């Protein structure tokens, strides 16, 4: 399995802030990278597929970028419902998660 490394592991931000999470992979994967959001006790939710494709119903303040081995997830104008943990994923591998505290 491919090594997936997210940074930071956690962050604290305020409402209205812009935050960026990075995911680095151990080998090049093209744009085959997905992002999920999980709140405590809830199922993960797909936010972005193939690096930058925003899923239907996901607010436009979420955006994804990158290719190869380095990817980013940006949340602009952070809202209270955005707290939780964000995971990157490729095939059977997940990053270790980035916990966002408001």
Partner 1 sequence: EVQLVESGGGLVQPGGSLRLSCAASGFTFSSYWIHWVRHEPRKGLVWVARITNDEGNTAYADSVRGRFTISRDNAKNTVYLQMNSLGLEDTAAYYCARDGGFGTPFDLWGPGTQVIVSS
Q: Give CA–CA dist 34/57, Å, rounded.
A: 16
**Nearer to partner 1 among residue 72 and residue 97 (C-beta):** 97
Span near partner 1 by CB under 8 A; candidates 17-25, 47-55, 64-72, 75-83: 47-55
Taking CB under 8 A as the criterion, which residues in 83-102 touch partner 1? 85, 87, 89, 91-97
Cβ closest to partner 1, residue 56 vs residue 60 = 56
Cα–Cα distance, 89 to 11 (Å, whole number): 20
The span from the CA of 50 to the CA of 39, in Å, is: 22
Cis amide prior to 8 (ω within 30 degrees):
yes
Rounded to a whole number of angstroms, the minimum distance from the CB of residue 16 to partner 1 is 27
CA–CA separation, 90 and 80 (whole Å): 28
- Residues between 6 and 45 with contacts to partner 1, criterion CB under 8 A: 32, 34, 36, 38, 42-45
């Amino acid at each position: 399995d491919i090594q997936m490394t997210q940074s930071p592991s956690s962050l604290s931000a305020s409402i209205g802030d812009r935050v960026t999470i990075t995911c680095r992979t151990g080998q090049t994967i093209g744009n085959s990278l997905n992002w999920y959001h999980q709140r405590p006790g809830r199922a993960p939710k797909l936010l972005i597929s193939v690096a930058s494709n925003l899923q239907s119903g996901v607010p436009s303040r979420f955006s994804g970028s990158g290719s190869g081995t380095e990817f980013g997830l940006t949340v602009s104008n952070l809202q209270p419902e955005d707290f939780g943990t964000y995971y990157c994923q490729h095939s059977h591998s997940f990053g270790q998660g980035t916990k966002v505290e408001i």
